[in-house]
Structures are given as structure tokens and as C-alpha cells.
Amino acid sequence: MPAHAPAPDAALLLAWYDRHRRDLPWRARGDETPDPYAVWLSEVMLQQTTVAAVRPRFARFLARFPTVEALAAAPWEEVAREWAGLGYYARARNLHATARVVAERGGFPRDEAGLAALPGVGAYTAAAVAAIAFGRPAVPVDGNVERVMARVFAVAAPLPGAKGRLAALAREVGAQAPARARPGDFAQALFDLGAIVCTPRRPACALCPWRGRCAGLAAGLAEALPRKSAKAERPQRFGVAFWLEDEAGRVLLRRRPARGLLGGMLELPGTPWRGEAWGEAEAARHAPAPAAWVAAGAVRHVFTHFALDLRVLAGRVAVLPTEGEVVGREEILSAGLPGVMAKAARLGLRGARASASDPG
């Protein structure tokens, strides 16, 4: 590795953390022993999701599934319903699968290699659980940690190409004796530093315990780091969803295949999603039943790899088809729909309510 700026002092970061650590519901307090289940659950939930969004959902999820054994024993439909709205639904499938593996073996593996062998557990999550739950000398590297390392060491190479070097630098700092003595606190201190001081925009450098060793600050380019390679334009896809209800106000849903995007989640029936818009007659061939379809609006939803424009058509029949699942109109938003389908359902529900209140 090329020569770089001197490593910052891990002891300074830990002293700062002892004064300023965030009080988060999944963190052990005082002399409490960390709960591996809570640590693992929080790390999975926090992937691609903000702390603010996870806080209430973590408490609710833990109340519903208080132990890894309870989660393992729950039917997938209940897990999917509780996860709905958090996005990245492959995480929920892997969460459920991992819970079953852990329950069967009688507990979590205590080292990175064993944790990384669990379904859907990558290098970051394995390192985080090993360090925080089991006190192993591991350094988890997420976006916050990459940003801190890029600035402290003035790494100008752009992401994602610089990821390997930034991870190596984080491990170098984590190899210092104070960090090895408190690996869980050191990992969480890095998270907190990136989240509340070394923020993406307008970092509070004056409050940083590492400001005296920050090569990026000394060079006047801290806020510009880390640099990122230009992103490719996100592809556009189109689809049509059908809100179909019967005279009793019950709505037809279907469950997506277990594998693939939104796997195992409930949705409004609809067309496949493709790169060109659907004509009305063509879309109608994918309708769950013949009906007088009325446009209810459209939603736009951005997934990781593409953006979706989803038109919603609403119709009514005397009797719903037998294929699929049925839920009452007013219970639709508590049925565990993923985010894009919850948006579509709100349009259908708004139209259904308006139709019901129209005396004509």
C-alpha cells in the first residue's frame, strides 16, 4: 500500500465516544452484556435504512419476535407483514432463514467466519456482530466508516474502487491496542463519528476528536471526500397494477414468488414490469378478471437498480377470483404490503372511498 498520513489515535476516538455515544435501543448500556440477537437484527435493519426509520420498527419487531427462536418459529407471512415498509425485502427472507439456522444450532457463531456463513450475512454484518456482540477484534466498514477513513487519510481515489484501501486503513486503526481492547465500542465509535460529526455535508470538523490528524482537513478538501465515480443512469420500467374489489369491499391481492425482487411479499395483481409503457388493451390481458377499469393514478418508485412507473387501474366485480388472497378494503394498508404496493393501494383506496361516497 502506498505511504499515507499517520494513523489517528484510537484512544482519542474511544474517549470521545464515552462522552458522546448515541443512545440507541439496540445498544447495551453500562455493564449490560450485548444481546447478539438484538445486535444482528439492528445491523440487518440498518442496511440501506436510516437510524430514524429503524428506531420504531426495531422496537415493534422485537416486541413481536423477542428472541431468535421466536423469529425462527414464526410463519414467513407474519415476518413479511412485520417487515413491510423497510424495503430491501431479500433482507427479511435471509433474516428468517438465518434465525432458523441459529435456533437449530443453539445460538449464534461467535467469530466472523462462522457468522459470514449464515444466510445473507456479508462481511460487514459478520464483523459488526463479532465485534459488538462477542468482543472479537473485527472492524466493520460501512459508508460512514469509509467516509471517515477517506477524509482522515485524504484518499482521493473514488468509490467504489477505493473500498478495499479504505477497509484496510480502518483495520490498521483498529489494530491499535485501545481498539483491540474495546472492539465493540471502537466499531460503534466509528459509526457515531461518521453519523454525527463527519457527516456527508458540512462536517463538524471543529468537534472531531481526530481533527489534529485529519489529512483531508489539513488539505482543505475534507468535505469533498470521498469522491465517487459517476453513476450510470438508472433504467426505467413500466407496469400496471389492478385494484379489484367486490361488492362487499374486499380487495384481491396475490403473493409474489419466493425468489426475486420483493420475494414472498403481497402485491396488487398486475402486469410484468418492462422497459416500455403498457397500452390499455395490452395491460387488460393481465387483469385478474374482466371489469370496467378506471384510471386511479400512477406512482413512481425507485429501486436500487431501476425506477418504476406504475399505473393503477381500479375495477369492481360481484365475486372475486378464487386465485389469490383477499383483504378488506380498510385493512389493506395493514396487510404488510411493500412500499411500492402500499403507494398503489392508497390510490385504489382513495378511489374506492370516493366512489362509495358518491351518491350518483
Give the active site residues.
43
Q: 310 with 239: CB under 8 angstroms?
A: yes
> Nine-digit cell at 353?
372511498
Annotate 37-74 with b (16+ C-beta within 10 A) or e (fewer): bbbbbbbbbbbeeeeeebeebbeebbeebeebbebbeb
* Amino acid letter, residue 244: L
What span, in angstroms and rounded, lies between the C-alpha atoms of 140 and 123?
8
Rg (CA), the chain: 24
Phi-psi region of 210 (alpha: psi -120 to 50; beta: other; left: phi over 0): alpha
Phi, psi of 194 (to 5 degrees): -70, -30
What span, in angstroms and rounded, lies between the C-alpha atoms of 180 and 201?
30
What span, in angstroms and rounded, lies between the C-alpha atoms of 298 and 284?
16
